[in-house]
Amino acid sequence: MAASPQRPPVAVLLLVLLSCLTGGLSIPDPRLREALIRLEDSMQAGGKMELTDAEKRLDALLLKMKQEETARADFPPAMHFFKARDLIRASPIFSVLQKMPKGGALHVHDLSMVDVEWVVKNVTYRPHCYMCFTDNRSIRFIFSSQWPKPRPGCSPWALLEALRAKTKNATDLDNSIMNNLTLFTDQDPEVVYPSQDVVWDRFEQTFQALWGLVTYTPVFRDYFYRGLGQFYTDNVMYLEVRSLLPELYELDGSTHDKTFTLKSYQDVTEQFTANYPDFFGVRFISTVHRGVNMSVMTEVVEEAMKLQKDFPHIMAGFDMVGREENGRPLWYFREALSLPQERGINLPFFFHAGETDLEGTDVDQNLLDALLFNTSRIGHGFALLRHPVAKDLSRKSKVAVEVCPVSNQVMKLVKDLRNHPAAVLMLENHPLVISSDDPAAFGAVGLSYDFYEAFVGFGGIKSHLGSLKQLAMNSIRYSSLSPQHQEKALALWNTKWNKFVSEIAR
């Protein structure tokens, strides 16, 4: 077993001892200082990575860019993402990160993969699309060949095509639809979303608004294809997508079961990889809202075990979604979650846990409980630093934390991304991957914005090209792919990486 990277080499300890003995008031030995700096540098993510000459050239370029960026008065990671987005888009580091092969995105939700502008301009312009306005100022949609039945809590349905024909300004209507499908706003986000309660409420409303649009079978397939395209264009070669596996519907109101949904995902993925052979693929994590009761949880765990058995090549495992504070803690569902093990069935868990700043509550125990249930990774793990035992366990058992910086900021867990707890995890080379959670809800696309916040924000000046390389490789190493597939994916990634380095360094 390799020595723990946190343990200083003996030579350094001796130097420290020597310095203490000969110490007094004299200036500390500069060699000791140098050794300690190098020791700390080597402990961080990618700290031990040997860089090629071309990589060193690119690294020097990135360092220069980062120093210039850090010196700015309007430093993007210190600002709310909604205000920082245009500045990030103009950043030379961001353009390098967009081109960088980032490996996989392991924490992405299916209904927030595609920019909402495409949804409005493409999906809502299809025929037979009806819209209604809810009592709590949101909207709902349905595609139907006949006039749909009234929906409780919603205004009478309006055929969008007719509504657009009557409206003087179709752009205003489109913009107002768009605003209902994402949290992103041009107004001051601190005013629009003054608390976690408000932002979570609006967040869940956006999903409900999207639901009727995206779960219509033809749209579902196009939406997912478009989502894969957006990640692929952002140089992401592999995805692990969390999905509620919604029941899809047809124009006549008939519906399909979850197997159909998973098969549709499989078909679209195959179609996409046939068109883009250097895209490695997608695996799915089936999810359920954590607000359900025990009998529903038992049912969905049973269902997930069956799907895992029937689709082992594309099913990665199981997770729960929704705000941790509003749902039930993992421990509440311990009986349902123990079923797979009791029956000797393999159902890997990928629990969201520690996406909270409420220290010491029942929900705050989710991190330890996730590890007790042998979770394969931890979604967010924002509270990990406040759980030294969980942190130690996740390091020792190589349970990677899926860090989603933009999400954590928009959902109001941290204001200035330099202060994100993953700064510590990165400095210790804790197993972690960077992901984007719900990019469309946050006005982001793909994965590069999150890499920017990680690299420029909490990575500080110290994180370098080796750190980026490590993070990209982590996304394959900590994926649910089999060891053989990981080797194949790493080989593919490596070819992409070398091409990227030689092109940019030139």
Residues near Zn ion, by CB under 5 A? 437
Smallest distance, Å, CB 345 to Zn ion? 25
Q: How far apart are CA 203 and CA 440, in angstroms?
A: 11
Question: 493-499 long-range contacts, Cβ below 8 Å, gap at least 24?
Answer: 493/101, 493/103, 493/237, 496/101, 496/235, 496/237, 496/278, 497/101, 497/469, 497/472
In the complex with Zn ion, the residue whose CB is nearer, 130 or 382, is 382
Kindly state the tokens that stand for 325: 């504070």
Q: How far apart are CA 111 and CA 246, in angstroms?
A: 10
Q: How far apart are CA 249 and CA 256, in angstroms?
A: 6
Smallest distance, Å, CB 195 to Zn ion? 20
Catalytic: 128? no
Smallest distance, Å, CB 437 to Zn ion? 5
Question: 328-331 long-range contacts, Cβ below 8 Å, gap at least 24?
Answer: 328/290, 328/291, 329/362, 329/363, 329/365, 329/366, 329/369, 330/365, 330/366, 330/369, 330/370, 330/373, 331/362, 331/365, 331/369
In the complex with Zn ion, the residue whose CB is nearer, 46 or 379, is 379
Instruction: Name the one residue in this structure whose structure tokens are 């159909």.
Output: 260
Q: How far apart are CA 143 and CA 129, in angstroms?
A: 5
What does 188-235 look like in DSSP terms, one character per residue? -HHHH--SHHHHHHHHHHHHHHHHHHHTBHHHHHHHHHHHHHHHHHTT
In the complex with Zn ion, the residue whose CB is nearer, 110 or 437, is 437
Closest Cα to residue 124, out of 162, 152, 155? 162
Q: How far apart are CA 254 and CA 247, in angstroms?
A: 10
Active site residue: 380, 387, 420, 464, which one?
Answer: 380
In the complex with Zn ion, the residue whose CB is nearer, 412 or 469, is 412
Smallest distance, Å, CB 109 to Zn ion? 6
Beta-carbon contacts of residue 252 (< 8 Å; ≥ 6 apart):
145
Q: Are 240 and 479 in contact (CB under 8 A)?
A: yes
In the complex with Zn ion, the residue whose CB is nearer, 222 or 319, is 319
Active site residue: 55, 69, 324, 355, which one?
Answer: 355
Smallest distance, Å, CB 422 to Zn ion? 15
What residue is closest to Zn ion based on CB? 437
Beta-carbon contacts of residue 447 (< 8 Å; ≥ 6 apart):
102, 105, 231, 234, 236, 434, 435, 436, 439
Kindly state the tokens that stand for 100: 């960088």
Which DSSP category does 402 fall into?
Answer: E
Q: Rounded to 5 degrees, what are φ and ψ at 159? A: -75, 120
Q: How far apart are CA 447 and CA 436, in angstroms?
A: 6
Which of left, alpha, beta for 283 (phi over 0: left; psi -120 to 50: alpha)? beta
Smallest distance, Å, CB 99 to Zn ion? 26
Smallest distance, Å, CB 311 to Zn ion? 22
In the complex with Zn ion, the residue whose CB is nearer, 369 or 437, is 437
In the complex with Zn ion, the residue whose CB is nearer, 234 or 437, is 437
26 three-class SS: coil
Smallest distance, Å, CB 394 to Zn ion? 17
In the complex with Zn ion, the residue whose CB is nearer, 353 or 371, is 353
Catalytic: 335? no
In the complex with Zn ion, the residue whose CB is nearer, 113 or 173, is 113
Beta-carbon contacts of residue 434 (< 8 Å; ≥ 6 apart):
102, 403, 404, 405, 447, 450, 451, 454, 471, 475
Smallest distance, Å, CB 329 to Zn ion? 17
Q: How far apart are CA 287 and CA 352, in angstroms?
A: 10
Active site members: 355, 380
